[in-house]
A and B are shown apart, each in its own frame.
Chain A
Amino acid sequence: MGEKVREFLERSKALDDKHAAEVQHKKGKLTARERLKHLLDTGSFAELDAFAELQSKELEAKRRYGDGVVAGYGTISKKPVYVYAQDFSFMGGSMGNTHNEKIAHVMELALKTGCPCIGLFDSGGARIQEGISALEGGGRIFQLNTLSSGIVPQISAILGPCAGIAVYSPALTDFVFMVNKTSYMFITGPDVIKTVTGEAIDFEGLGGASVQNEKSGVAHFMAENEKQCLDMIKILLSYLPQNNLESPPYHSTDIPARETKRLQGIVPEDPKKTYDIKDVIIEIFDKKSFFEVGANYAQNAVIGFARLNGYVVGVVANQPKVLAGCLDINSSDKISRFVRFCDCFNIPLINLVDVTGYLPGTEQEHNGIIRHGAKVLYAYSEATVPKISLVLRKAYGGAYIALVSKGMGFDKVIAWPMAEIAVMGAEQAVSIINKDELSKNPKLKSELSRQYSEKYLNPYSAASLGKIDMIIEPKNTRIAMVKCLEMLLSKREKKPAKKHGNMPL
């Protein structure tokens, strides 16, 4: 063996995980390399910039190959992905100059080659000792996150206590995964909060996985342990195309013409009774294909990926079981972001509608339901992917416009015979329309309501205007949806060119 090769092998020994393993395993965590090994196909990982080191003179003593992040590429289910994983055992995974450059390097490659980019975060944020240049590196990562948005899927997993750059970069990506009880996200930690506001709060209460999944909606998935988290990323990727120029992967597992007989039993004919929309989703879409996104946040709206006769679709559904399935601030945010993701990556949208509308009340109005609700309108209007809407029971007023209307560009609208498509419910409607009559004789209300219900609370008045394409029996729902989708897959819609729109935020 040549001298130079021997030296290289000697130097390479320093790339092992010995120190990291000592630190991480004690805490029941995996090292950066172990995480990547679990995430990627066996033997597929190729490391980049392994010998890159920090350049700062003051920190010379701490210098180590890699600078606290393992970056490179590999495959997941044989498809190429770019990855980086932070090493908490090296200076708390802090993001110094070289560290940031390594991340930016793989992000650039992912963008150039049209491959998904996955970041495994375990960092307290910018490396303070490297000063402003560490912040600048963060700015560059944000810039690349934004440039990549809508071109390649970007996925972040939070696998430790993360703050600063290490939470803002994930927030710019498409999906954020967290692990229960071991991962945390916050802008300022408990210590800072204590000194500023005097409030005593621990990591978990401030930014634990359940807080960020249930309350804030910052994270979309919560796993019970690291390996499950990495497995969930692989499942998510199985629904996504490599980039915005490809179609999502086709994978057929179910009979297209299967009758959806259970639906009639699941959805009560009495529109006042609630049920679990997830049972409906499971019955309609390909067996075991539904992968819910944001399951713990704004549960009055259910969103997720599923397959319909093998084609990936994005499902948006009202959940009558939670808050009557109403559209409120949080569910509006949840729906809009998902709709925009699906539109970016050529994933057709399917709405399952059963809702009377936006939630009334001062709390909602004062917090800007108009501004948030408008996002739903913007996102659907903007989306050019096939858009199919199924009205199960109620579609009133604003919710009709947002989730069903041809005016907003829904390509196919299907209704069940129980559908009630109207401007509003009977009692409210008559109290406005028949105000004078009712002021003279309030007893007329129930009779007038009955008349209104009979005349308007059905799918036929909308159908007579050509606003409902078909009315179907619940048992034919799947086959009708499959046909609609397959007829729309070749849809092309060009919108006027512009720099970009100004979405309400």
Chain B
Amino acid sequence: MEELVVKVDGREYKVFVEETEEGKILVHCGSDVYEVETKKDAETSAIDRLQKRQKISEGATEITAPLPGIIYEIKAKEGARVKQGQSLFILMAMKMENEVTAPKDGVLKDVKVKKNDNVNRGDVLAIIE
């Protein structure tokens, strides 16, 4: 059972989330129990979901090439507002079109590459602020 603090209209509620053996997700709030449906990843276990945490950092963040390859497509313009997880570059590497996504919400600044550029692992592609 997992303890969570949920804020609704400024008031904090302590709830307990339980995954039953049948795969139902039950939320205990005080003496009430609600069954809820999860939208995504319904098949993965609760532990799996908890393991998938992503860190969101403050300030300017460099977006680097995860693999050595060729810039195949640039999907966002300099100065554009981008959302965490949004695809920004397609990097052709290991014979695949690899997506390079935004590590956080912000404004895309200083795109340092153009289409068909060769990049090495760790090269800075752009900066998000």
Interface residues, chain A, CB within 8 Å of chain B?
Answer: 210, 221-225, 228, 231-232, 235, 271-274, 278, 282, 287-288, 290-292, 295-296, 320, 322-326, 355-357, 359-361, 363, 394, 425
B56 within 8 A of A: no
CB distance from A177 to the nearest CB of B (A): 11
The answer on a CB contact under 8 Å between A272 and B95 is yes
The answer on a CB contact under 8 Å between B48 and A272 is no
The answer on a CB contact under 8 Å between B95 and A356 is yes
The A/B interface has a contact count, at CB < 8 Å, of 76
The answer on a CB contact under 8 Å between A282 and B47 is no
Supposing A210-B55, A288-B43, A361-B68 touch, asked if A228 and B97 sit within 8 A by C-beta, the answer is no
The answer on a CB contact under 8 Å between B68 and A360 is yes
Question: Which listed residue (B45, B96, B121) contacts A363, Cβ 8 A?
Answer: B121
B62 within 8 A of A: no
The answer on a CB contact under 8 Å between B94 and A324 is yes
List 22 contacting pairs A-B, 8 Å CB cutoff, sorted by A.
A221-B51, A228-B2, A235-B47, A272-B95, A274-B98, A290-B48, A292-B48, A295-B52, A296-B51, A322-B66, A323-B94, A324-B67, A324-B93, A324-B94, A324-B96, A325-B96, A356-B95, A356-B96, A361-B120, A363-B120, A363-B121, A363-B122
Interface residues, chain B, CB within 8 Å of chain A?
Answer: 2-3, 23, 43-45, 47-48, 50-52, 55, 66-68, 92-99, 120-122
The answer on a CB contact under 8 Å between B67 and A292 is no
CB distance from A213 to the nearest CB of B (A): 9
Residues of A within 8 A of B51 (CB): 221-222, 292, 295-296
Which of A225, A323, A355, A356 has the most chain B CB within a 10 Å cutoff? A323
CB distance from B10 to the nearest CB of A (A): 25
Supposing A324-B98, A326-B67, A357-B94 touch, asked if A288 and B47 sit within 8 A by C-beta, the answer is no
Beyond A224-B50, A274-B97, list 8 extra A-B contacts (CB 8 Å).
A224-B2, A274-B96, A282-B43, A282-B44, A295-B51, A296-B51, A323-B66, A394-B95
CB distance from B39 to the nearest CB of A (A): 15
